[in-house]
Structure 1
Amino acid sequence: MTLKMDAIALHGFLDKEFAQVRGDFIIADLAPDRISVQMQVADRHLRPGGTVSGPAMFALADVTAYLIVLANIGPKALAVTTNCSIDFMRKPAAGQMLVCEARLLKLGRALAVVDALIYSAGQAAPVARASLTYAIPPT
């Protein structure tokens, strides 16, 4: 399978279509069936107690899934999340980079299914796991 968008094109797409997340996510690795995206944890990502908030980890998983889908279907801004299930398993390290490793499990005409693991940089065990489904707009 050949990618329709590379990391540079995906970053440009996010900058243009989703300026509100500009600079928050960095694509570290990209292949047709997998992607690795990094997010530097900032104060705005923390909740009381100093741990990374669930919404921040959800955003990382969701954007990562969006990017692997777009990499395979092209720049379709209206591909949308239709389902997400996320398990928070461990406390992420505050002030660390979070890394989301995702795999594209299925890419159909109407739906894509992605499995994602989130890690605190330097830790072997994942801090969260997400399963996401994306609706692909008709051509």
Structure 2
Amino acid sequence: MSIAAMQARVREGVPLAGAWGIEVLSYGEGLATLRLPAREDMLRPGGTVSGPALMGLADVAMWVALLSLSEGRDESLTASLAITFLRRPPATAVLAEARVIKRGRTLSYGEVTLRAEGAAEPCAHVTTSWAATGSK
């Protein structure tokens, strides 16, 4: 599946990803890198990217990592998502690097590292589990 086809799949499955302008930069073998562009409506007071925007980006990134293992046919749903905010990201684009750690028959587990574009240090770390719906 091409990057463009994956992008279309993501925007079909999560229309909010399209509204936010989330981009699929790369994916494959349980990994995915996505980008949330800098947007003024994603900022909170103090000029930092909001927590809900970071959580949404992380959730979509993990779904793409799961889709990469199923030729774009994964219908899993988020069962849990825990985020630790490590530092305030500036008002720039944010990158999400997702990795599936374990893919099970009924439950999958992964992590996502978020960082401001151009930054070396992460701004947040996410762990997440996904429940299979039976339509893999």
Which secondary structure does the structure 2 equivalent of 1:90 belong to?
coil
Structure 2 counterparts to residues 26-105 of structure 1, below 5 A: 26-76=23-73, 78-94=75-91, 96-105=92-101
With 72-81 and 96-105 compared, the bigger mean Cα shift is at 72-81
Question: TM-score under structure 1 normalisation?
Answer: 0.87
Cα-Cα RMSD: 1.7
Cα distance in structure 2, aligned partners of 1:30 and 1:78: 17
Which secondary structure does the structure 2 equivalent of 1:133 belong to?
strand
Which secondary structure does the structure 2 equivalent of 1:73 belong to?
coil
Give CA deviations for 1:50-90 in whole Å, capped at 9, x if unaligned.
11110010011110001111221244474210011100000
**Structure 2: which 5+ runs fail to align?**
none
Cα distance in structure 2, aligned partners of 1:98 and 1:54: 12
Does 2:116 align with 1:120?
Answer: yes
Does 2:22 align with 1:25?
Answer: yes
The total of aligned residue pairs comes to: 134
Which secondary structure does the structure 2 equivalent of 1:72 belong to?
coil
Cα distance in structure 1, aligned partners of 2:133 and 2:70: 10
Question: TM-score under structure 2 normalisation?
Answer: 0.89
Match of 1:7 in 2: 3
The answer to whether the Cα contact below 8 Å between 1:15 and 1:21 also exists between their aligned partners in 2 is yes
Cα distance in structure 2, aligned partners of 1:67 and 1:37: 9
With 73-82 and 83-92 compared, the bigger mean Cα shift is at 73-82
| Residue in structure 2 matching 1:109, options 68, 85, 105 | 105
Cα distance in structure 2, aligned partners of 1:127 and 1:48: 17
Does 2:134 align with 1:135?
Answer: no
The answer to whether the Cα contact below 8 Å between 2:111 and 2:127 also exists between their aligned partners in 1 is yes
Tell me by how many angstroms 1:16 deviates: 2.4
Cα distance in structure 2, aligned partners of 1:54 and 1:46: 9
Cα distance in structure 2, aligned partners of 1:75 and 1:33: 12
**Structure 1: which 5+ runs fail to align?**
none
